[in-house]
Amino acid sequence: MGNFANKNLTDWHQLVESELKGGSSEDLIWDTPEEISIKPLYTAADLEGLEMSGQMPGFAPFSRGVRATMYANRPWTIRQYAGFATAQESNAFYKRNLAGGQKGLSVAFDLATHRGYDSDHPRVHGDVGKAGVAIDTVEDMKILFDGIPLNNVSVSMTMNGAVLPVLAAFIVAAEEQGCSKELLSGTIQNDILKEFMVRNTYIYPPAPSMRIVADIISYTAVEMPKFNSISISGYHMQEAGANLVQELAFTLANGKEYVSTAVNNGLDVDKFAPRLSFFFCVGMNFFMEVAKLRAARSLWARLMSDFHPKDPRSLMLRTHVQTSGVSLTEQDPYNNVIRTAYEAMAAVLGGTQSLHTNALDEAVALPSDFSARIARNTQLILSEETGITKVVDPLGGSYYIESLTASMEQEALKLIKKIDEMGGMTEAVANGMPKLMIEETAARRQARIDRGEEVIVGVNRYKNNDDDMPELLSIDNTAVREAQIQRTETIRKNRNKKEWMSAVDALTRGAENKENLLALSIEAMRQRATVGEVSEALEKVFTRYSATTRSVSGIYGSAYKKDAEFNDIQNKIKSFLNEEGRRPRMLVVKLGQDGHDRGAKIIATAFADIGFDVDIGPLFQTPEEAAREAIENDVHVIGVSSLAAGHNTLVPELINMLQEFNANEILVVCGGVIPPNDYEFLKNAGVAAVFGPGTNIPSAATKVIELIRQRSKAA
């Protein structure tokens, strides 16, 4: 064997300078959006002073995994998130997935259900069965799980606003299937603070919403020992634009707030903390995502130690992970298979307990059977073919990973301490601090993408001009809604009116006092109350919450200083002002019950920075409300942001309302998650332009100015 001379870091620096022809290794340092500096080389010196020495999997602080054997003994749970229109269709899909190797179920509900409305409510006619399954009663829940043994299959339910009636319906459906609640396993998300921050599918104000969280934790701790009472979610934060440090810090701060609430309500921390779970997003920054999951476990153990638990399981952070939805692109969609595979591997190397892999077509539609099979098989191949499950924590001891884990933990802790100084997460949310930080980060990232500084293959670089979109799944919203209404009407007609009324009235009284609201909701659903009726019974006391809409300013535009193209657009705005006597004015709206407002907020701030006068409509508007606001504000154009597929119903209604109000001069444009097949339909309905995912915002702004000019000349 050859004898090689020992070389040190100084030798390496000298060689780097030679290869860079006078440059230095510092030229290769990369600053992440989290403001963490990434060096080109890590050595043993980077581990000095870190607490990783001697840490083992299965022991606090669990950075190397919550179980000693991890996947070497039992692989992660393959838990695909799905819900399709009706309970019957979703049930058939679940059965196919279970037969194909899936181990657990994860239910997506439609937006009407999320917001506590029955399918016959006038505000949700465009939302029923879109982006998830419609659930109005116990009977829907029984159909959803028909033939699926709930004593053997764990079920995760993404539900927050209408968490009481939905969880209650699940419990009653299981009982009537023959499975007692003590045997139920799975998770209810029940993370309302996150809803006020990013996703917006809340119903009640923060204080009563937190009471609901506490009641569910209290009830399940005693009655449902195998069930996770809450899934504290960072996923939707990253999807809304949060960087990884923000996602980590805000998620753990939310968790800390829930624990404090439960303890302050008299619960022993060891009675519920072992059943807490977390939910993170994993995107395309591979090593940072691995480090984030490792840091999350370590930091949570340290935060929980302040509550002095006696059970070591109370220190464990157990998590589900979903690959990123926002990283998926409409353009060149087969690239999404590759993105999802890399993200799934990062999640597994980071030590997740369960995983959902997004499908290639989810940038524009619900997944088809074809795309869902590929997404599921991505996990099966990782588990069965790569050998990744044979070693516990295969990246443990990596100079880079361990150093990065420590950096993530340190930066997240700084942000958590800032939240503590504000009085905790409830106060921070009420103040709007987390939401504003996330929106600023989202605007900065969008500017980087539009400028080409952050590469998205197939979108802003290496574009494929072939129209290669796979066949997309389409939901007949009208048919779904009519079927739901018919079944619900039958249930209302046949139920015991006296028992139903007594149970619903008890809920309202319970909201006024300290009775456990989940226990009361179970009885109400057993008497065939609907999701909407339970929600309304509580709303009489709690009221329905309406958030104040705000947007950031100057963030997007600051990335374009001295940019010639950007300045050209601003000059067009100035010309418009000189000719028309005012700036072009836009109203940005979200129609229906879709609370995902990342796209709307980015458009609002970007167009404002470009020079438009921009109004932002409140969330959850009807087409009539949006039309009236547009007329009152004297706008030139309404920009409809769509994500949850209600546009084919709601946008034509908006245009009809403008015509009815004699406001044909107001243009309507659409943007967001809109399948290409819908473009022609929308344009035939009167939409002036459709901007799909990945649209360059300055280009879109230029197009909108041109459309306004054309409409002005035609008038």
Q: Are 551 and 616 in contact (CB under 8 A)?
A: yes
Q: Return d(Cα 346, Cα 238) in angstroms, integer.
A: 16
214's CB contacts (< 8 A; 6+ apart) are 261, 262, 265, 267
What Å distances lie between residue 679 and 364, 460, 550, 686, 688, CA to CA?
Answer: 12, 21, 30, 11, 10
What Å distances lie between residue 9 and 21, 50, 104, 246, 399, CA to CA?
Answer: 18, 20, 49, 33, 14
Catalytic residue among 130, 356, 590, 647: 590
- State the amino acid at position 472 in one-letter form: L
Q: Are 336 and 363 in contact (CB under 8 A)?
A: yes
Catalytic residue among 118, 127, 136, 594: 594
Largest CA distance in the chain: 90
Active site residue 121: no
Q: Return d(Cα 227, Cα 213) in angstroms, integer.
A: 14
User: Would you tell me the crossing angle of helices 598-610 and 564-580 to the nearest 10 degrees?
Assistant: 70
Listing DSSP states for 148-197 in one string gives: --TTTS-EEE--STTHHHHHHHHHHHHHHHT--GGG--EEE---HHHIII
Quote the tokens at residue 397.
Answer: 């001891």
Q: Return d(Cα 707, Cα 576) in angstroms, integer.
A: 12
Active site residue 560: no
In this structure, the chain runs to a length of: 715
- Token pair 């588990």 is found at 383
The partner residues of 323 in beta bridges, in order of sequence, read 282
Active site residue 236: yes
What Å distances lie between residue 119 and 127, 261, 481, 573, CA to CA?
Answer: 9, 33, 6, 44
Burial 250-264 (b: 16+ CB within 10 A, else e): bbbbbbbbbbbbbee
> Which ranges in 513-622 belong to alpha helices (H)?
517-526, 531-542, 555-558, 564-580, 598-610
Q: Return d(Cα 142, Cα 487) in angstroms, integer.
A: 13
Catalytic residue among 117, 235, 258, 556: 235
Q: Return d(Cα 364, Cα 128) in angstroms, integer.
A: 18
Quote the tokens at residue 180.
Answer: 């007692």
Active site residue 596: yes
Q: Return d(Cα 309, Cα 600) in angstroms, integer.
A: 43
Active site residue 594: yes
- Give the three-state DSSP class for 591: strand
Active site residue 590: yes
Catalytic residue among 142, 194, 236, 647: 236
- Catalytic residue annotation: 81, 235-236, 590, 594, 596
